[in-house]
Amino acid sequence: MSYSQPFTPEGKLADAKKLLSLPRIVVICGSTRFLTEMNEADLWETKAGKIVVKPGIDMKSPHELWSDPVEAAALKVRLDDLHRAKIRLADEVLVVGDYIGDSTRAEIAYARSLGKPVRFTHPEVDPDA
């Protein structure tokens, strides 16, 4: 076991991934308006041998789970927390789409604050470029 990283939760997670021989994990970020593009990116990243995590709910599409505005607001908070957990789990981030909204911009900043590499399907939208 390698102890090159301090005994932080992040270091322990990295060591566990190595011990389990897990492939790289990529989290897909972006506006849910790009779900088709996210699914295509998932296909290519999976073909490349990576574990892919991405948004699992499109709250812009009608559904009974978020038809009540109060419940929808609470769900949005939980989904944002869940996506940040996916970013912490991942080894890298892939931002999909040619538009970066406030939520995606915050996810990019969060990933970079953790030292995660961030790639873009459209590098011109990188808010830090």
pLDDT, tens digit (0-9, with 9 covering 90-100), for 64-100: 999 999 999 999 999 999 999 999 999 999 999 999 9
Q: What is the pLDDT of residue 49?
A: 98
28: nearest Cα among 10, 43, 11, 15: 43
**What is the mean pLDDT of each successive set of 10 residues along the chain, which is 129 residues long?**
68 92 97 96 98 94 94 95 97 97 96 97 95
Q: What is the pLDDT of residue 4?
A: 55
52 occurs within a structural domain: yes
Question: CB count, 10 Å around CB of 19?
Answer: 10
Total domain count, the chain: 1
53 occurs within a structural domain: yes
For 2-71, where are the E strands, in sequence order?
Answer: 25-29, 51-53
13 occurs within a structural domain: no
91 occurs within a structural domain: yes
Question: CB count, 10 Å around CB of 47?
Answer: 8
Residues 42/52, Cβ–Cβ less than 8 Å: yes
pTM (global) more than 0.75: yes
Q: Which residue range is the domain that position 97 belongs to? A: 24-125
6 occurs within a structural domain: no
Q: What is the pLDDT of residue 5?
A: 56
14 occurs within a structural domain: no
Instruction: Give the C-alpha separation, 20 to 51, whole Å.
Output: 13
Q: Is 15 helix (H, G, I), strand (E, B) or coil?
A: helix
We report the CATH number of the domain holding residue 94 as: 3.40.50.450
